[in-house]
Every structure is written in structure tokens, then in C-alpha cells.
Amino acid sequence: MDLGDQADEAWLLSVQRKLYQWSRTHPEDSYRDLWNWITDIRNLRCAWRKIALNKGRRTAGVDGMTVAGISVAMGMELFLEQLGGGLKRGRYKPSPSRRKLIPKPRQPGKFRPLGIPTVSANCTGPQFGFGMGGDPPSISPTSRSAL
């Protein structure tokens, strides 16, 4: 991890701490600046790095693009700048997930659907893009209903 990556991760951790502290002291209020943090280029870079290390990074969504394909075609920085700009201007339209049926473990002949999102959809998912996989650790349990 280089210094830029470490700075982005440190920034994200500080934002998560601020949000957690704020949510503890204001459990009934909704937070108004969350969108600016989610669309910040540092946050999008953190999301990109998580996606680039993900096991499914080689699988393309409905747009046919993979992490490697985007890196070669336009580069990570330009892709994330365009994505962040589209989000901030309200022009981003998420793509549908690509559906694939995969076999159920220990149940021969049975399948379950798997949704494969595009790279841009993965980078913009607040739970992934803001380091909040699953239950958001940066938000106090008492104020999650205010989001």
C-alpha cells in the first residue's frame, strides 16, 4: 500500500469516526453531509481498491467491463473522476446486475440466482464505497433508523 492509499484509508477512517460520534450525540437527526463523503474521490478510490482485490474482479457486469479492462482502457483515476462527477451532478444511472444461475452447494440439480454488478455500481454502493459492508460500523446502532 503506497502513501496515497494510506492517506485515503486514514481519511475514510476519520470520516467514519466523525459520523459515529455525531450519530451517538444526535440519534434522532439525519446526517446531511453524507452524500459529499460518499462521492468524494478518496472514498471512491478506497472502494476501487476493495473491488480490485475482490475475488469477482475478473467477472464483467452487463456493460462487459472488468477492473482490469477499465484500468487499461481509461485508467482508474479518470474512471473514478467521471463516476464521481456523474454522481454529484445527478447524472449517474445504475446498470442492472447481470444474472447468472449457480449451483447450490450440496443440492445437485438446484440453482440459485447470482447478481453480478458493474464495476461502477460496485464503486457507488454506499455500503461498499463507504467501507460499510453489511451493518455500518461508523453509525451508532441507536441512530441507524435516521439514515
**pLDDT tens sequence for the chain (147 residues):** 577 789 998 998 898 898 889 888 988 887 777 888 888 999 999 999 988 988 888 999 999 999 999 999 999 999 999 999 999 998 988 889 999 999 999 999 999 999 999 999 888 876 555 665 444 444 555 544 444
Amino acid sitting at position 75: G
Q: Report pLDDT for 124.
A: 83
Q: Say what the pLDDT of residue 134 is.
A: 41
What is the pLDDT at residue 128?
A: 57
By CB atoms closer than 10 A (0-12, 13-18, 19+), residue 86 is: middle
Residues linked to residue 99 through DSSP beta bridges, in sequence order: 115
Which CA distances in Å does 4 have to 41, 75, 86, 89?
Answer: 12, 16, 23, 26
Measured CA to CA in angstroms, residue 87 lies from 34, 76, 108, 125 at distances of 13, 16, 43, 11
Cell numbers of 12, please?
475514510
